[in-house]
Structure 1
Amino acid sequence: AISIIQFKLEGEVIKRRPEFEMDHRLLLDKINYEEGTINLKGNIYKLKDTNFPTIDPKNPYKLTKEEEIVIDKLVSSFKNSEKLQKHVSFLFSKGSIYLVSNGNLLIHGCVPLNEDKSFMKMKLQGQEYSGRELMDKMETLVREGYLFKDKTNQKQYGMDIMWYLWTGKCSSLFGKDDMTTFERYFIAEKETHKENKNPYFTLREDEDVCNKIFKEFELDTNESHIINGHVPVESKNGESPIKANGRIIAIDGGFSRAYQKKTGIAGYTLIYNSQSLQLVSHDPFTSTEEAIVNESDILSTTMLVEHKLSRKTVKDTDAGKKLLDEVDDLKLLLTAYKKGIIKEV
């Protein structure tokens, strides 16, 4: 029942935002409710469940009165949850779509690319964006959705963008062409469940592509790295977390137990110090009992990603550059005081 509510509400967003190009995800109107089938991309599939008591076939995306009550209560619970609001406030005060730190680019999913290695383009509010500009624009819009007052166009658009970041093909956080939730719930045929990853995840093995991304974010093509998450590295099948000759470091090793069968390990820890970059992989922790009986603990393996002969100093870091700027400001302040431009307080 809650899934049907989800599909109805998603339908409202898709219809409201044609620039999202997600009409293919409008599926409730593709169902033949009498025959219990759906027309999906020109193919007819039998549905595993044909009981849709909350759907009006003539207006499938309209919420029933009872569904509206459910949503109103959920919205109220979310807005008035002190803990949730504290977490969301932390997300917006500390988080970002991407982070450039000490010459490295940290991204959760990907920098959306086309098969020809060009940056994916998307039109937002009448203007076309791609690459870093697209990621910056999406972050700005999402913050407007959080900070603007209710019942304003900016807030509604920002909230719609937040949803798009979760499921849209040009989202750097999602990194796929489709989220096939409906298909997994209602269609048995596995081919309909496929979610194609963005070309980035194949092209990132190419050093030229990495260099193109570094230039887009104004980073050093010789020194910088891309620190990547989102897609678990299948270590047990021989996949390496270090890609593109060390330019890319994929740090998603399945920290969550649910992914450990796929990865074969229990996650990575990236250690960055003044002279080296190291990646530590952790073996899964099975149980307290086994650890006591076998006298075993969590085992870790360290891989040296990069080693510098000359150490980095504090002034080489982002924090050091801020300190140097503060020193310059203090010197200017002191000069102004000595010249009598400002008075002692």
Structure 2
Amino acid sequence: MAGAVYRDEDFPADPYPGAVPPTSYLHTDGLGLPLHETSTGALVQPDGVDLDEWLLQRGEAPLSGRIPVLTYGSNRCPSKITWLRENLRLPGPVVVLRAHCADLAAVWASGFRLRDGARPATLAAMPGVTETHAVWLATPEQLRVLDVVEGRGERYRLARVHTGRVTLGTGAHLDGVLAYVARGEVREPLLVDGEPVRCQELSQAAARELTGEPGSCGLAVTEITGDPDPGLWPDRVFVYGTLQPGGSAWSLAAPLVGGTPRRVRVPGTLYDTGEGWPGLRIDPAGEVPGWLLPLADPVAALPVLDEYEGTEYRRIRLALADGTVCWTYVFTAATDGFRVVPCWPAGHV
């Protein structure tokens, strides 16, 4: 849909759960700019600019500073995002990514919204079902607004969901994605004849007339206390140069590792910077070998690695071929005249 934009008036939030664009999008200034997703990231249409670059050029939080949060109700709607800006001072551009959710479903909750009497959605385990919802890549400030609108601690709780699998258009698997799940009876699923009712199967008007009993959502979750840190996920980093096991900077990385490193490959091109270390550029046409390091404490480890990598590198999240998401560092300086190398051997000087 290059050249198209999603206007708020075409995607109303009422009747709940509202109308949702057919692609991932970036919401800013009352418009949704479609995102074209590839295996190595997302591009902002119609200009075809890398999403991270688009954000950085405007002084906005990069993707590494954002937290993936699954949303399955009206927060997917462009008009609702504008409502959040006008009523709750939601700051900055909002990144909304389409997500395929396996063994999970949005179902009608047992209670109603006080402000308009609508029956809201709640998340439930549903083996064998796949639905399409959305993931906000939210800044910490945006997440605090979501806390307010979702009634965190009263109606819903913010939790890491261990049931099912959530996959983005890039192929990335969001293991343990955050979501607002029921807290208390009014947001537990409504059971009709002992079964929850999927929102996709019944309109809001019909859902208001349902009668039944509240039941369990069936989800395995870990509730989040306080403000989650963007560095919490993922808890692994791909290294391809001096930080590799046996490399000249392995002594810096080794104390941060909390498991067994394994060899993997990422799509990219590797350059010899001439300074004794390489630089990675993401490129679907190439392949770069290295090591996947599990981090014992990513929030503590990432600042150490950031400082070591310096200003010529930027930390990003990247999906491996199997969907596993890891951090890595891409080289952002010019590569003119640099030699392309197939790999960087451990201990290379």
TMscore range, shorter length: under 0.3
Which structure has greater helix proportion? 1
TM-score by length of 1: 0.24
Higher relative contact order (CA closer than 8 Å, sequence separation 6+)? 2
